[in-house]
């Protein structure tokens, strides 16, 4: 009789959670605790009840869909072969259950505006988490909007550390995205160095499953200059490798103004990959515009796209081949054109 009662209780809870989103979570916590008292696994009951409608730190809510990430970037990211070669395998290896990670994954994205840095960071969140950027396990920080004063750098650093510690305690598979790092006060990341370094058996949260992504325009000009030099020497763009740029990015991030300046994150070598986003050329901008029209279910004449490039896209003067703002803001230009098409 007792067994049938418990089974009925599980069924009722499951039905309620599947068809109602207004149930008090405390009720379920108490209910699952009661069932656990009868010998049911607490985590199992929680996943079947409370976590069926409330986001939890579980495989269902954090599927880590690397194939989704790969397909999206291959289809909509243009001119960034190094990003595809390095970011996808890095995240796949970090999420692999066969190989236990020894530290948090730390990625640093660098490049001029409009090269796809934010797009990649955003889609990492959308691929790994069922709720994407809206997930409570994804934390996004924006440059001066969140950290406006250099004089408050020490306080910001303490607040970041406390938030990261709490977040990883709640869910070890947390994602932290720091956008516009070049606009943040230097010294702001000093508290993170020990957290993202190699795991020790000391007390505190285990950060080995967490991911940190730093997005910055820092050294973007350096990337463009070095790529231009390589192209002049006869190197094909698609033949360039991360090793061609990594030292340039590390030194640029360390020496130029911004949140990474003179930071312990670089001194302690805890940044796993410095990812260069190469400046875009005309062919890549063309593909961006074409893809944006496809989003509007429009197929414009080639002359329409050529005219848009001539009107809205500027190319830097030194080489004449790199778009100064990449694909930035072109979505709004396409929207106007698409609305005017019949």
Q: What is the pLDDT of residues 258-296, one digit of tens each?
A: 999 999 999 999 999 999 999 999 999 999 999 999 999
Q: How confident is the model at residue 28 (pLDDT cuts 50, 70, 90)?
A: low
| Average pLDDT of the chain to the nearest whole number | 88
Q: How confident is the model at residue 40 (pLDDT cuts 50, 70, 90)?
A: low
Cβ contacts of 288 within 8 Å, gap of 6 or more: 78, 280, 326, 327, 330
Share above pLDDT 90 across residues of the chain, in percent, rounded to a whole number? 73
Q: Does the residue 18 lie in any domain?
A: yes
**pLDDT value for 20:** 47
Q: Does the residue 81 lie in any domain?
A: yes
Q: How confident is the model at residue 198 (pLDDT cuts 50, 70, 90)?
A: confident
The whole-number average pLDDT for the span 196-206 is 74
Give whole-number Cα distances, 139 to 69, 100, 173, 178, 195, in Å: 19, 23, 12, 8, 16
Q: How confident is the model at residue 102 (pLDDT cuts 50, 70, 90)?
A: confident
Give whole-number Cα distances, 332 to 146, 153, 223, in Å: 26, 35, 27
Instruction: Let me know whether 222 and 258 are in one domain.
Output: yes
Instruction: Let me know whether 127 and 258 are in one domain.
Output: yes
Q: What is the separation, in whole angstroms, between the first and last Cα of the chain?
A: 70
Instruction: Let me know whether 128 and 15 are in one domain.
Output: no
Q: Does the residue 315 lie in any domain?
A: yes
Q: How many domains does the chain have?
A: 3
Kindly state the tokens that stand for 250: 């590390």
pTM attached to this predicted model: 0.87
The whole-number average pLDDT for the span 62-87 is 96
Instruction: Determine contact, residues 119/225, Cβ cutoff 8 Å.
Output: no
Q: Rounded to whole angstroms, how far apart are CA atoms 183 and 78? A: 26
H or E element, residue 302: helix 302-312
How many Cβ atoms from other residues are within 10 Å of residue 262's Cβ? 12
Torsion sign, CA atoms 173, 183, 250, 319: positive
Instruction: Let me know whether 37 and 118 are in one domain.
Output: no
Given 262, 277, 292, which residue is the final one in a domain?
A: 277
Strands 138-142 and 105-111: unpaired
Instruction: Let me know whether 333 and 252 are in one domain.
Output: no
DSSP 278: P
How many Cβ atoms from other residues are within 10 Å of residue 12's Cβ? 12
Domain that holds residue 29: 2-52
């Amino acid at each position: 009789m007792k067994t049938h009662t418990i089974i009925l209780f599980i069924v009722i809870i499951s039905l309620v959670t599947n068809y109602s989103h207004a149930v008090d979570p405390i009720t379920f916590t108490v209910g699952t605790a009661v069932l656990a008292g009868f010998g049911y696994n607490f985590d199992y009951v929680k996943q079947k009840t409370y976590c069926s409608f409330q986001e939890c730190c579980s495989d269902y809510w954090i599927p880590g869909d690397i194939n989704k990430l790969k397909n999206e970037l291959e289809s909509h990211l243009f001119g960034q072969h190094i990003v595809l070669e390095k970011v996808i395998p890095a995240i796949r290896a970090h999420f692999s259950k066969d190989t236990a990670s020894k530290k948090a994954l730390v990625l640093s994205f660098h490049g001029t505006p409009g090269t796809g840095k934010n797009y990649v960071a955003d889609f990492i969140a959308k691929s790994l988490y069922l709720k994407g950027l809206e997930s409570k396990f994804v934390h996004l920080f924006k440059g001066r909007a969140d950290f406006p004063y250099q004089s408050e750098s020490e306080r910001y650093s303490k607040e970041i550390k406390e938030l990261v510690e709490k977040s990883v305690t709640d869910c070890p598979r947390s994602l932290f995205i720091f956008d516009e790092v070049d606009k943040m006060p230097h010294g702001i990341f000093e508290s993170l160095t020990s957290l993202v370094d190699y795991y020790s058996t000391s007390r505190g949260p285990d950060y080995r499953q967490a991911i940190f992504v730093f997005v910055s325009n820092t050294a973007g000009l350096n990337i463009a200059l070095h790529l231009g030099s390589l192209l002049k020497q006869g190197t094909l763009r698609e033949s360039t490798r991360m090793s061609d740029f990594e030292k340039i990015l590390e030194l640029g991030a360390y020496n130029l103004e911004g949140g990474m300046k003179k930071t312990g994150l670089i001194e302690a070598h805890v940044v796993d990959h410095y990812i260069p986003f190469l400046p875009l050329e005309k062919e890549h901008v063309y593909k961006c515009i074409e893809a944006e029209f496809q989003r509007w279910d429009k197929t414009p004449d080639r002359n329409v796209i050529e005219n848009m490039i001539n009107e809205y896209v500027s190319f830097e003067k030194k080489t004449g081949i790199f778009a100064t703002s990449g694909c930035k803001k072109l979505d709004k230009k396409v929207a106007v054109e698409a609305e005017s098409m019949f």
